[in-house]
Amino acid sequence: MTTMKKGCPFGTHRVLEPKGALPQPATKIDNTMEIYDNEILIDVKTLNVDSASFTQIKNQAKGDVEKIKEIMMGIVAEKGKHQNPVTGSGGMLIGTVEKIGTALEGKTDLKVGDKIATLVSLSLTPLVIDEIVEVRDNIDQVDIKGKAILFESGLYAVLPTDIPEKLALSALDVAGAPAQTAKLVRPGDTVLIIGGAGKSGILCCYEAKRRAGVTGKVICLGHNDKSLDVARRANVADHYVVADATKPVEVMEKIAALTDGKMADVTINNVNVPDTEMTSILATKNDGTIYFFSMATSFTKAALGAEGVGSDVNMIVGNGYTKGHAEVTLQIMRESKEIRAIYEELYA
């Protein structure tokens, strides 16, 4: 029996370039699929690519499915992981546990054969794509034949038996957003969800409405009536606003009209396009909070932009993980028949 090599809990042993970096910011990682003693080998079924990343790839490919495949295969061949070179973001995957490192025996509740969703980004996950079987470009999902490695520190969720796989994957991909919204919103708050009719936005609206209560106000902002009609079906907000999130003053005026000039206490930004930082800032009151979940957010634009307009807002970088986030999100799927139906129709 061969002894497995010892690995670092954070996966630094996989980093090829630059040495000393962690796997996420690294430009190249080792994606050979012989596992270290503290790793889990996954037989991958589906990749759920981050929305900002997939939108960029689709635009670059001009919607051509074969070109999308080529771009994705190229990223993995070059980097050893699926980290979009433009957006820097990844996504997540579902697959089956194939092998568990010897150092993890007795330390993990996982067993070979378990179906799991990884809750860490593809931007740090060693990945091999042997073949791209199907591209569902309308929902950012790609079925593949391939393998991936989960590090000892990597988060995961065993897929629930009462929710179909692809539905669970779509929901878990954005699990951090509604769970963080639940932590931020207080009873009576006015909450603006930018991109509120989208995949993560609709879950944030639901959670915000629950937390803000009858004395609060949830404003769902979408880029057109068609998308807002989806949110209306789920009855997740008090107001539905059509606006272009890249036009800060236009949005500010609409939010001012809805709030008697008081603006939002909490703004959650879920859009997948750049240049919406100032919109979030101008729509939020001076001591309010903005949560930037969008992977298209520029720290520089947000920081210097807020300073430039004399805004004293609290700005938080969206973290896709918060304790219990998988449970919070799957529970929404169980509670809301409307949201579940929308997700099944649009994202699964």
How confident is the model over 5-52, as pLDDT tens digits? 999 999 999 999 999 999 999 999 999 999 999 999 999 999 999 888
Dihedrals phi, psi of 135, to nearest 5 degrees: -115, 120
pLDDT in tens, 282-307: 999 999 999 998 877 889 899 898 99
Contacts of 4 (CB under 8 A, 6+ apart): 35, 36, 37, 101, 102, 103
Averaged over 207-211, what is the pLDDT? 96
Residues 104 and 236 in one domain: no
Assess if residue 4 is contained within a domain: no
pLDDT in tens, 224-277: 999 999 999 999 999 999 999 999 999 999 999 999 999 999 999 999 888 999
- State the Cα–Cα distance between residues 229 and 210, nearest whole angstrom: 20
Q: Select the more confidently predicted residue: 161 or 75.
A: 75
Is the per-residue pLDDT at 320 higher than 90?
no
On average, the pLDDT of the chain sits at 93
pLDDT given at position 2: 63
Residues 290 and 192 in one domain: yes
Q: Is 11 left (phi over 0), alpha (psi -120 to 50) or beta?
A: left
pLDDT given at position 173: 81
pLDDT given at position 279: 96
Q: How confident is the model at residue 78 (pLDDT cuts 50, 70, 90)?
A: very high
Q: How confident is the model at residue 4 (pLDDT cuts 50, 70, 90)?
A: confident
Dihedrals phi, psi of 317, to nearest 5 degrees: -80, 125
pLDDT in tens, 44-73: 999 999 888 999 999 999 999 999 999 999
H/E run at residue 293: none
Averaged over 336-342, what is the pLDDT? 94
Contact 182, 207 (CB under 8 A): yes
Residues 101 and 244 in one domain: no
Q: Which domain holds residue 100?
A: 12-159
Amino acid residing at 182 = A
The first and second tokens of residue 93, run together, are 């995957």
How, if at all, do strands 115-118 and 15-17 pair?
A: unpaired
pLDDT given at position 324: 85
The owner of tokens 């930037």 is: 292
Q: Using a CB cutoff of 8 Å and minimum separation of 24, what contacts does 225-228 make?
A: 227/197, 227/198, 228/197
- State the Cα–Cα distance between residues 302 and 228, nearest whole angstrom: 26
Q: Which of 159, 192, 217 is the last residue of a domain?
A: 159
Assess if residue 301 is contained within a domain: yes
Could you give the percent of the chain with pLDDT greater than 70?
99
Is the per-residue pLDDT at 1 higher than 90?
no
H/E run at residue 234: helix 225-234
Contacts of 183 (CB under 8 A, 6+ apart): 322
Give the number of domains in the chain.
2
Residues 153 and 108 in one domain: yes
Assess if residue 6 is contained within a domain: no
Residues 43 and 152 in one domain: yes
pTM above 0.95, yes or no: no
Averaged over 192-208, what is the pLDDT? 95
Residues 155 and 180 in one domain: no
**191 pairs with which residues across the strands?**
218, 266
On the question of a cis peptide bond just before residue 23, with omega within 30 degrees of 0, the verdict is no
Residues 153 and 228 in one domain: no
Q: Classify residue 77 by its DSSP letter.
A: H
Averaged over 141-166, what is the pLDDT? 92
Residues 325 and 287 in one domain: yes
- Cα dihedral sign, 294-319-75-171: negative
